[in-house]
Structure 1
Amino acid sequence: MYVHSKDIFTLPGYYRSISSRRSVLAAGVGIVSFGIAGCVSVPWFREPDGADWSASVPELGGLASPVTTEGIVAAGGSRDGRLENGQLVAFDTETGTQQWDRDLGRPTGLVAADGTVYVGEKRDSGQSRISAFDARTGSRRWRQMVSNLSSAMAVSNGTLYAANGGLAALETADGSVRGEQSHVPETDFTVVAAPDDQLAADDHAVYFGDGDGVVAISPTDGTASWSWRPTQWEATTVGPVPIDDTIYVGGGGDVVALDAADGSDRWRTPFGRGAEITGVHATDSSLLVAESTDDAPSDTFGTVYELSAEDGSERYEMRFDAPVTRAASTTATFVVGTGDGTVTWTDGASFFARPETSLPTSGFGLGAAGNQAFAQTSAGTLWALSPPE
């Protein structure tokens, strides 16, 4: 249990954070966040187990969950309950020290890669403006108008892809437009529930998941390389997630593994009535699938399944009392959050207890880097969390 102090310190801009857990352990004292003008304060309660630090940030609103790159976590959202009053704030992942903040219009999508943070802002007539910021300093590298809402974004091979009502490809170096298209015969690039992770890219293709399945787009000429259109499919809600030569995608209560070369389905695993896929995580030989089951009034719970990556057969399951509503995957771990505010770290089947902690709210977005999770609450608090010992 930390000994709390009311001593405070000021960081650049409008946001302040508590000391990191690592420095607290060294000094034997902790600092609790506080309210400031124009921001939502962190309530005075016992901090979650495993908390490294916390900070006041914009309200999550409709923007994507926190994103990370090269030791920086960026969180965006709206201020004062107004979607048009957007803001983006960046912190050092280790210490919680605020690095910079930027005022925005109405934010749409958010992604980070290779030391750059990209954010979209809604403009008129279905357009948006994308800004690229240096992750460490916050200096604007470039900004560019595109003819879609850029609710979903992905980075691959020096190109930023942005979609929703069209697809744009921009050079990450200077923001110049490589190409734009409003549709291809297979899809109109509509994001089902912005923001969402319906867009992904790798060395071979740009993948877009829509209400009918998945389309792979050539990064060279923008034509469709293949499309997967099953006879029965609810809107794509998780993925596409390219891993090596496989594309994983979730929709409704089903998860599917597609061949990256031609889009043929290798296997499809359903999880029953009332299930909804909320995240996936690949290991060497398994796929972890997070889902929520809401078969009211008596059957509401969450599960993480471990499936064989080869054929989709079930190996193991981990049950939660509340639905798994969000998830974040890194090369090190799979972090899942449930509707009762619990955050759990897992890497597959184990007879040992898994690290978990509880947040004081059920409304939060979830990002991760390494073993560290970042939970941004709807009330405007960013928690940096490590697996409790």
Structure 2
Amino acid sequence: MADGRVLVTTARGSLVALKTDDGKELWTADVGQTSDAAPVVSGDTAYVTTWNGGENVDRGVAAIDLADGSERWRAIPDVDVSSAATLAHDTVYVGGSRKRSHVIALDAMDGSERWRFRAGEYASTPAVFQGIAYVSGGKEPTVYALDAVDGEERWRVDVDGRVWGAPTISGETVYIGTRKGTVYALAAADGEELWHIEIGDDVRESLAVTSDMIYVPDRGSIHGLSTDGEGQWSVDASSYVFPPTVAGNSVIVTDRSEAFGLDAATGAEYWRHAVKRRTISDMTFSGIMCEPVVHNHVVYVASLGGDVYALQRPE
């Protein structure tokens, strides 16, 4: 969301700007071969990651002018970046991808490279807080804390499985989930383990955290935990669950077929919305492959069928 626009990336490598009130298309920018991670926005610029371009197609990170969709700069055009970027102060941070293990920091004004750090293939989008970039190791069962200015390693912690989702920071604690189905709480200062809990299934995405609850998506459920690691509730989904979004007293969740809203305290369902299927030639496209975005009591969801939905969220 940016200045009255809904920004949507597509698997065909486009960034599309829609009006928030009626969904009318304002412009479309061609940013690369494949761009299926959400853009990050600051002021008048959207930063978009691209991948799967091949040797003769620019990849990396593109900075797009929000006024008309024109490209301001492109950085690391030889690098696949399959996860979203993080913008902190005047720096754009990106993680790894297939056969790419570096976390890279770029100048937000011109795309020049500031530093890079080898973390692991599919290293996560960095989470930046108080001058530290926290990174999950992707295929490596490790969590890193890096100096956000120069990329120097502050600490690293090994956990019980691969860590694909970006860390979530709340207060002085870093929360992550592993592919072994374990949730860890680590001290942000030095990585000391505060607690862990096994929820029993594959956690591939980032967690959502409030002052008193943690929301954990896994292969087929969404779990509500207290911030000391005690289980509070669990709700089954129809399939793989993407990172949830907390909005007021609700948790907004998407899986591969539906979007639904739950009571944040109890997990009770408020509403549910299925997306349409679309058949092109002999192929059918359906479901959802991204997290929801909530703005001014409206839930925005993009589908594999090529539709963008604006859903009024009950207050």
Task: Tell me if TM exceeds 0.5.
Answer: yes
The answer for the alignment partner of 2:151 in structure 1 is 222
- Give 2:49's aligned amino acid: G
Tell me how far apart the structure 2 counterparts of residues 93 and 160 of structure 1 sit (CA, whole Å). Answer: 26
In the alignment, structure 1 residue 387 sits paired with structure 2 residue 305: no
Structure 1 or 2, whichever has the larger Rg, is 1
Q: Per the alignment, do residues 156 and 176 of structure 1 end up closer, same or farther by CA in structure 2, a change over 3 Å counting?
A: same
Tell me how far apart the structure 2 counterparts of residues 142 and 246 of structure 1 sit (CA, whole Å). Answer: 35
TM normalised by structure 1 equals 0.67
1:156 counterpart (88, 109, 114): 88
Q: Per the alignment, do residues 136 and 313 of structure 1 end up closer, same or farther by CA in structure 2, a change over 3 Å counting?
A: farther
Query: Given that residues 291 and 323 in structure 1 are in contact (C-alpha distance below 8 angstroms), is that contact kept between their aligned partners in structure 2?
Result: no
In the alignment, structure 1 residue 308 sits paired with structure 2 residue 226: yes
What secondary structure does 2:10 align onto? strand
Q: Per the alignment, do residues 277 and 171 of structure 1 end up closer, same or farther by CA in structure 2, a change over 3 Å counting?
A: closer
Deviation at 1:224, TM superposition (A): 0.7
- Give 1:386's aligned amino acid: Q
The answer for the alignment partner of 1:346 in structure 2 is 262
Q: Per the alignment, do residues 328 and 74 of structure 1 end up closer, same or farther by CA in structure 2, a change over 3 Å counting?
A: farther
Tell me how far apart the structure 2 counterparts of residues 97 and 126 of structure 1 sit (CA, whole Å). Answer: 30
TM normalised by structure 2 equals 0.81
Query: Given that residues 163 and 204 in structure 2 are in contact (C-alpha distance below 8 angstroms), is that contact kept between their aligned partners in structure 1?
Result: no
Q: Which runs of 5+ in 2 are unaligned?
A: 278-285
Deviation at 1:249, TM superposition (A): 0.9
Pairs within 5 Å for 1:280-359: 280-292=207-219, 302-309=220-227, 311-315=228-232, 317-320=233-236, 322-330=238-246, 332=248, 333-339=250-256, 341-350=257-266, 353-359=269-275
The answer for the alignment partner of 2:283 in structure 1 is none
What secondary structure does 1:174 align onto? coil
2:72 counterpart (141, 157, 163): 141
The answer for the alignment partner of 1:168 in structure 2 is 104
Greater relative contact order structure (CA < 8 Å, 6+ sep): 1
What secondary structure does 1:217 align onto? strand
Deviation at 1:388, TM superposition (A): 5.4
Q: Which runs of 5+ in 1 are unaligned?
A: 1-67, 80-85, 293-301
- Give 2:287's aligned amino acid: G
Tell me how far apart the structure 2 counterparts of residues 351 and 87 of structure 1 sit (CA, whole Å). Answer: 36
In the alignment, structure 1 residue 372 sits paired with structure 2 residue 301: no
Deviation at 1:159, TM superposition (A): 0.5
Tell me how far apart the structure 1 counterparts of residues 237 and 112 of structure 2 sit (CA, whole Å). Answer: 48
Deviation at 1:209, TM superposition (A): 0.7
Same amino acid, percent of matched pairs = 24
The answer for the alignment partner of 1:243 in structure 2 is 170
Q: Per the alignment, do residues 160 and 321 of structure 1 end up closer, same or farther by CA in structure 2, a change over 3 Å counting?
A: closer
Deviation at 1:264, TM superposition (A): 1.3
The answer for the alignment partner of 2:121 in structure 1 is 190
- Give 2:208's aligned amino acid: H
Tell me how far apart the structure 2 counterparts of residues 209 and 127 of structure 1 sit (CA, whole Å). Answer: 26
Tell me how far apart the structure 2 counterparts of residues 267 and 72 of structure 1 sit (CA, whole Å). Answer: 41
Alpha-carbon deviations, 1:225-246, whole Å to 9, x = none?
Answer: 111113x22x213221122322
The answer for the alignment partner of 2:195 in structure 1 is 267
Tell me how far apart the structure 1 counterparts of residues 189 and 195 of structure 2 sit (CA, whole Å). Answer: 15
Alpha-carbon deviations, 1:236-274, whole Å to 9, x = none?
Answer: 1322112232211111211111111111121111112x4
Q: Say how many residue pairs are matched.
A: 292
